[in-house]
Amino acid sequence: MYFKQFYLGCLAHASYLIGSDGEAAVIDPQRDVKQYLDEASAQGFKIKYVIETHLHADFVSGHRELAKRAGAEIVFGWKAGAQFPHRAAKDGDELQLGQLCLRVLETPGHTPESICVLVIENGAPVKVLTGDTLFIGDVGRPDLVGSKGYTPEQMAAMMYDSLHEKLMKLDDAVEVYPAHGAGSLCGKNMSKETSSTIGQQRRFNYALQPMTKEAFVKMMTADLPEAPAYFPKDAEINRTGAATLADATALAALNPEKIRALAEAGAVVLDVRDAEAFGAGHVPGSLNIGLGGQFASWAGMLIPIGAPIVIVADDSAQVEEAALRLARVGHETLRGFLHGGVLAWHEAGFDVAAVTQITVNELKDWMDEQRSFQLIDVRRPAEYAGCHAPGTVNAPLSHLESHLASFDSARPTAVICAGGYRSSAGASILERKGFKQIYNVIGGTGAWVNAGLATESESDTASCQK
């Protein structure tokens, strides 16, 4: 058996290539499919199957493009309702792959159509690809878009049955390979590990400890983070099949005059540079989501799918990377990029905006002087509750715009997060909404704690540590 995991850190997404005797299958592919074709070719395999464990909501899959280029068959669980030619697999169906057998296990719970793929070698199960049913240290959320027509409680009850009647009946030695890891919003408490075994999960996974179905349902439906608005749109793209990546990422080089005209017509000017570069000078009104962080997820959350987008970057490599990562979450309405970057904008005679970057010690001095400023913490509520600088007000980045009525746009405003990435995005949103004196806190709450400055907590399990 040949087996390889492809892990995409910015989306915390894992996909797989399995091969035997010249035949291969790809499970849960990314949108950019060339890597699977190249790897299969290098190993002497022809891709026979492209298998999806469910209708992914957090990214757009390349299943149609991969199947077309490889001459492969697409396989979904029969409840997916995929709207293109595919094999609709049911529980117990088997796919022959060289000397391997891939057995489909129907495991509803994360979504109604969810399946797992059991890899059988020499008559014995050796691996199970669990999609978003079983993670390392967690299980899939029961409340996402694929669950149309079901309540989270109903889905959680299905998840309990799938885990205990299917996966937990496997031998402890069977290796577990999920579709996501830490950082994904498809679960609540995922490990940074990207593989495990059934035995390890039986012992250490909190969701697999002995409990009644009722207790499990109550636990799995409590304190669920909100699902991003782009999730249902991505799931529907996956149901119908996405366009080829080349079509989705073709971009035109635009001059400053054209960029300004598009912005005035409502296009989002997306600046993908880091916080320092953005703060030093940018196109007024642009949104800063740096490529250095979870760019694709934040772009999906902060920009409506279908909105026209123009990219501002340092160079062509950043433009290409941004276009690829935007396509991964369903952003295909890219109008082009600013040729020559911010320098070209400046040389065209247009105003350049800036956001002052301040250190935590400078911020503390402000607080000691009791200056009239407001401090916004844009982290998620649980992060804020665990540890925050005194005097901060929590307004999570994903909903920052809806909180702005609570703040005075005429007052100096500092924005803080965990490390300075989300706060730069937040500062750019404030600027777009008319705030005039904006400051981004370098290093965020992490730098504040490391400097030994006083903190507050609203949680019994405070996480303020150096």
> For the segment 191-202, what is each residue's pLDDT rounded down to a tens digit?
889 999 999 999
Structure confidence at residue 169 (pLDDT): 98
> For the segment 43-84, what is each residue's pLDDT rounded down to a tens digit?
999 999 999 999 999 999 999 999 999 999 999 999 999 999
Q: Which numeric CATH code is attached to 356-450?
A: 3.40.250.10
Average pLDDT score over residue span 93-119: 97
Q: pLDDT class for 239, splitting at 50, 70, 90?
A: very high
DSSP string, 144-192: SGGGTTS-HHHHHHHHHHHHHHTGGGS-TT-EEEESB-TT-TTSSS--S
Average pLDDT score over residue span 338-351: 97
Per CATH, the homologous superfamily of domain 243-347 is: Rhodanese-like domain (3.40.250.10)
Strand 268-271 versus strand 287-288 pairing type: parallel
For residues 386 and 460, what is the distance between their CA atoms, to the nearest angstrom?
A: 8
Using DSSP, state whether 193 is helix, strand or coil.
coil
Q: pLDDT class for 466, splitting at 50, 70, 90?
A: very low
For residues 13 and 107, what is the distance between their CA atoms, to the nearest angstrom?
A: 19
Burial degree of 42 (CB within 10 A; 0-12, 13-18, 19+): exposed
- Check residues 189 and 70 and name the one with the higher pLDDT: 70
Task: Give yes or no for residue 463 having a pLDDT over 80.
Answer: no
> For the segment 122-181, what is each residue's pLDDT rounded down to a tens digit?
999 999 999 999 999 999 999 986 557 899 999 999 999 999 999 999 999 999 999 999
Q: What percent of the chain has pLDDT over 90?
A: 87
In this prediction the pTM is: 0.91
Q: What percent of the chain has pLDDT over 70?
A: 97
Q: What angle in degrees, to the nearest 10, is found between the helix axes of 152-165 and 213-220?
A: 130
Q: 236: part of which helix (H) or strand (E)?
A: helix 231-240
CA 364 to chain CA mean position, Å: 33
- Distance of CA 306 to CAs 228, 242, 246, 287, 300, Å? 15, 14, 18, 16, 10
38, 42, 45, 46 alpha-carbon torsion, rounded to 10°? 40
Query: Mean pLDDT score of the chain, rounded to an integer?
Result: 94
Average pLDDT score over residue span 210-234: 92
CA 434 to chain CA mean position, Å: 29
User: Are domains 2-233 and 356-450 of this chain identical in fold?
Assistant: no
- Give me the residue spans of the domains in the chain: 2-233, 243-347, 356-450
Q: Which fold is adopted by the domain 2-233?
A: Metallo-beta-lactamase; Chain A (3.60.15)
CB atoms under 10 Å from CB of 243, counted, come to 15
Structure confidence at residue 79 (pLDDT): 95
Q: pLDDT class for 370, splitting at 50, 70, 90?
A: low
Strand 115-121 versus strand 100-106 pairing type: antiparallel
Task: Give yes or no for residue 26 having a pLDDT over 50.
Answer: yes
